[in-house]
Amino acid sequence: MSGFAQLRRAVIKLGLSAPWLILSANSKSQDLTDRGRARQALHSIRSWGVQYQQVDVARIAASHLDLVVLDPSLNDWHRRFISAEEMAALKRKPDGTRRLVIGYLCIGETDVKRWYWPARWNAEPPSWLGPDNVNWPGSKVVRYWDRRWQELIVTGPESILSRIVDMGFDGALLDRVDAYGDWENQYASARRDMIALVKLVADRARQRHPGFLLIPQNAEHIIENQLYRSVIDGLNKESLLTGLGGENVPNRQIDIDWSLTRLRRAQADGVKMLATEYLSDPVLRATTEAQLTSWGILPFYGVRALDRLPW
């Protein structure tokens, strides 16, 4: 009997309620086309990680991770994207069980160094382009409510979202959802417009892939909106317990409580809670892991560049 068959029998014998785990890696059912089934898979994960640079597909495929977040592009200069064969390998863990593979999609900011940025825009920037993000060279905030920006990332036939769906990702991690904070002093509708954009991403993706998962980052202010909570499946909170005052520095309790109150509201609606902490102190890591897991939040410990294997 194969190792996978033995695992499958063991899972069934134990009566575990995670049927996605016992799917053959070659099964069409692995596509998780139903959102309820996809959310069950998301809630079943026990480890996860993020890597955007210096990605070694084979090493990630050989890892124990239940979920991994990757950029669709492995090399912008050579326009080298994850292939169909590599995606199939990433979705299969060494024991034959399923791994969720989530694509990175930034919806509130752009990077003029990326593969989707045409050279002509350097001389004639599009009107939806906003000021620089001083923390990330090459990154600029965008007027995310602008139709032309939305065509680039969501609605256009060659949009970044279309590429993510075409490549077979199980969902998208949405970055810079909190970009409404860059605009709300100028535009009263900044939060509403961001919620509308997230809803647009959900609608477009699920027209083609009903089980497509959405996992935004941060943006706790808009968690209070019921429509927003209804279209997202998970949420990754960066630096919940540490990092606001510097690496390996615990956050103030008032800041933790502010975020946690809002995160718990989403959690009560069935949204899977994830956390990313950028710390290197092993003692602090142990205490933060104990605290996060006691709250039902699954942590990942990374470096800011997100260029290393996540374990």
- Which CATH number goes with the domain that contains 144? 3.20.20.70
Whether residue 307 lies inside any domain: the answer is no
Q: What are phi and psi for residue 215, nearest 5 degrees?
A: -130, 90
Q: What is the rounded CA–CA span in Å between residue 112 and residue 135?
A: 14
DSSP 98: B
| pLDDT tens figures, 245-257 | 999 999 999 999 9
Q: List the domain range (segments joined by +) for residue 77.
A: 3-301
User: Mean pLDDT, 10 residues at a time, over the chain (311 residues)?
Assistant: 42 41 42 89 97 94 96 95 98 97 98 95 96 90 98 97 98 98 97 98 98 98 98 98 96 98 98 96 96 97 78 50
Whether residue 146 lies inside any domain: the answer is yes
Whether residue 311 lies inside any domain: the answer is no
| pLDDT tens figures, 20-63 | 444 444 443 356 879 999 999 999 999 999 999 999 999 999 99
Whether residue 71 lies inside any domain: the answer is yes
Whether residue 256 lies inside any domain: the answer is yes
Query: For the chain, what is the domain count?
Result: 1
Whether residue 188 lies inside any domain: the answer is yes
Whether residue 276 lies inside any domain: the answer is yes
Q: What is the rounded CA–CA span in Å between residue 162 and residue 205?
A: 8
Residue where the block lists tokens 């597909």: 57
Q: Which of 124, 136, 56, 141 has its CA nearest to residue 90?
A: 56
Q: What is the rounded CA–CA span in Å between residue 283 and residue 248?
A: 10
State pTM to two decimals.
0.90
Contact 302, 310 (CB under 8 A): yes
User: How far lies 302's CA from each of 44, 51, 248, in Å?
Assistant: 21, 9, 12
- CB-based contacts of 218, cutoff 8 Å, min separation 6: 177, 178, 236, 237, 238
Whether residue 309 lies inside any domain: the answer is no
